[in-house]
Copies of this chain bind each other. A is one copy, B any other.
Amino acid sequence: MSNWTRNTKKIGELATGHELTIPVYRFAGTDSNAPRVYIQANVHGAEVQGNAVIFQLMKQLEKLELQGDITLVPLANPLGINQKSGEFTLGRFDPITGVNWNREYQDLTPSLSDWFEAHKHLPTEQFIAAYRQSLLNSCHQQLDSPWGVTTGRRLALSLQLMAHEADIVLDLHTGPKSCKHLYCPEYTRDAAGLFSIPCVLMMPNEFGGAMDEAAFYPWWQLTDYVVSRGMTMTPAVEAYTLELGSQERIDMQDAADDCEGILAFLANRGVIKADIEPKAMARYSCALADYRKFHSPMGGLVEYLAAPGTPLSAGEPLVRILRPDRFGESEQQQTLCLPEDSIPVLHFASASVYQGTELYKVMTKYTRLS
């Protein structure tokens, strides 16, 4: 029986003066040494299923024994979620600038040589706390600039302020038409076997602007630096992006399954006291560099033949391109294949494409995890 509170956090302001706010739920744990968790959903406007998962999670957390604190933020990007264009949600990028909402997070890693010199004398716990504080301070400094920050940056930094307080960060997304997949930093490979997710992309120590990277990168950088100085350290923070199927879909039953996977992970990490086994399933992974995009070599109408999540051999049919303007010619219908064995993970949401539209993203050089 855990207690929770709800607050409303302001993250922006519209042209009419209306405040952009997000709901913030906090579940209190009983053990201040247990890892603290931050979970958010729906930063991309059409990717709503994470809200359903947070909903199911909160239902479970109310009944479970929590050791670590858990902060949950559904509907994390109200501007994106409410941005309709025709019958769909145009919530992948800022409608004014085009900038992807999930590329606005900041790498707040300080100058490591300076910072390390100034703090190396501290005991581990304080050393870590000081580093965490430097990340939070950087957030505040950017938010308080007299030149202001962009709408998307303000949102991102506001979310980072909550994420940097946590030891575990989960960012819930979906693909367009997609099987479930996980972005997992290489240094916590073991987590890949805990979630109810079959496809795993192993992330290198690089920063690309996403929430998970913003959360783990400064710690991974610090760890590498400390190790380079001949000491030992493991990153104090872990962060994951969970891609929970397809966008523009709410499925409460499926959300319960994903909730179960997250609980298995949290139990493993000592956040909740519960005996939850990870789901048995075939899991596959590849390096992020081997997660490849296939772009349409022509414009036309598309029949998607390869099902996300199912391995596909090189040369097997991936899509069929229909060209009704070319009836009677060889171009009227063409079947496209990939040059390598792969597991298709997601495909484009629309059935018509320009030349160059990203048709599929696929795992290549993949291996069986478990």
Contacts and interface: CB of A to CB of B under 8 A. Distances in A.
Interface of A: 4, 6, 12-18, 20-21, 23, 25, 41, 45-46, 48, 51-52, 54-55, 58, 74-75, 78-79, 81-100, 146-154, 176, 248-252, 292-303, 320, 322-328, 332-333, 339, 348-358
12 contacts: A6-B328, A12-B354, A13-B354, A17-B323, A18-B299, A46-B352, A51-B322, A52-B322, A84-B350, A85-B85, A87-B176, A151-B355
Contacts of A301: 15, 48, 51-52, 250
> How many protomers of this protein does the assembly include?
4
A352 to B, nearest CB: 4
A154 B356 CA distance: 7
Given A12-B356, A86-B90, A248-B351, 7 more contacts: A12-B355, A17-B323, A46-B351, A98-B100, A148-B295, A149-B356, A153-B356
A102 B90 CA distance: 22
A3 to B, nearest CB: 11
Given A12-B355, A74-B324, A248-B349, A150 B81 contact: no
A327 B324 CA distance: 33
Given A15-B81, A86-B92, A251-B303, A293 B147 contact: yes
A243 to B, nearest CB: 15
Contacts of A81: 14-16, 352
A57 to B, nearest CB: 10
Nearest to A73: B324
Nearest first, the 5 closest Cβ-Cβ pairs linking A and B are: A148-B295, A93-B98, A151-B356, A13-B299, A98-B98
Nearest to A101: B98
A249 B91 CA distance: 21
A323 B292 CA distance: 36
A302 B139 CA distance: 28
Contacts of A176: 87
B356 A150 contact: yes
Nearest to A333: B55
A328 B27 CA distance: 13
Contacts of A348: 87
A340 to B, nearest CB: 9
B13 A355 contact: yes
Contacts of A332: 55
A4 to B, nearest CB: 8
A252 B55 CA distance: 39
Contact of A17 (B151, B152, B300): B300
A21 B91 CA distance: 22
Contacts of A97: 93, 358
Given A87-B348, A87-B350, A96-B357, A15 B300 contact: yes
Nearest to A146: B339
A358 B98 CA distance: 13
Contact of A98 (B99, B323, B333, B349): B99
B78 A16 contact: yes
Contact of A303 (B252, B294, B326, B328): B252
Contact of A250 (B41, B95, B251, B303): B303
B89 A95 contact: no
A21 B18 contact: yes
Instruction: Kindly name the residue among A16, A21, A252 whose own CB sees the greatest number of chain B CB atoms within 10 A.
Output: A16
B298 A13 contact: yes
Contacts of A355: 12-14, 20, 151, 154
A352 B48 contact: yes
